Amino acid sequence: MAWQKVAKLTDVKDGHGISVVAPGRKKPIAVFCCNGQFFALADECSHAYAPLSESDVENFIVTCRWHGAQFDVRSGKGIGTLAYADVRSFPVRIEDGSIEVEV
Ligand code: FES
């Protein structure tokens, strides 16, 4: 596990996500901003594999834009029956105006 710089703070707007690929990792990661805090989840909905980074987040819940599955961005925990499984979450820290994810 190592901290990897994946984006600048200004790259992620509050209530939204972006998709990043951390060095040394093949699968994308969704980085979200909610209430001024940053979170990282595997960028793949557990319902039918939509990229969660394209979905909006409100009150720490991201709602998949394809069919509405919901996940807590703080933990990746699925909410309700559409979320077939939790999604992986990654630790996030801010360093010198950059977002770093531990992968
Ligand atoms: S792919 Fe996300 S809700 Fe269906």
Q: Residue 74: is it exposed, middle or buried by C-beta count within 10 angstroms (0-12/13-18/19+)?
A: middle
Q: What pLDDT is attached to residue 101?
A: 97
- Look at the block and give the residue holding tokens 């409100």: 58
- Look at the block and give the residue holding tokens 């977002």: 99
Tell me the whole-structure pTM to 2 decimals: 0.96
Q: What pLDDT is attached to residue 1?
A: 87
Q: Pinpoint the alpha helices (H) of 33-93.
A: none
Summarised one tens digit per residue, pLDDT across range 19-35 is 999 988 899 999 999 99
CATH number at residue 17: 2.102.10.10
| Structural domain boundaries, residue 83 | 3-102
Q: Is the CB of 66 under 6 A from ligand 1?
A: yes
Q: Is the CB of 79 under 6 A from ligand 1?
A: no
Q: Is the CB of 50 under 6 A from ligand 1?
A: yes
Separation between Cα atoms, residue 26 and residue 11, nearest integer Å: 21
Mean pLDDT, all residues of the chain: 97
Q: Give the Å distance between the CA of 52 and the centre of ligand 1.
A: 8
The total number of structural domains in the chain stands at: 1
Summarised one tens digit per residue, pLDDT across range 56-92 is 999 999 999 999 999 999 999 999 999 999 999 999 9
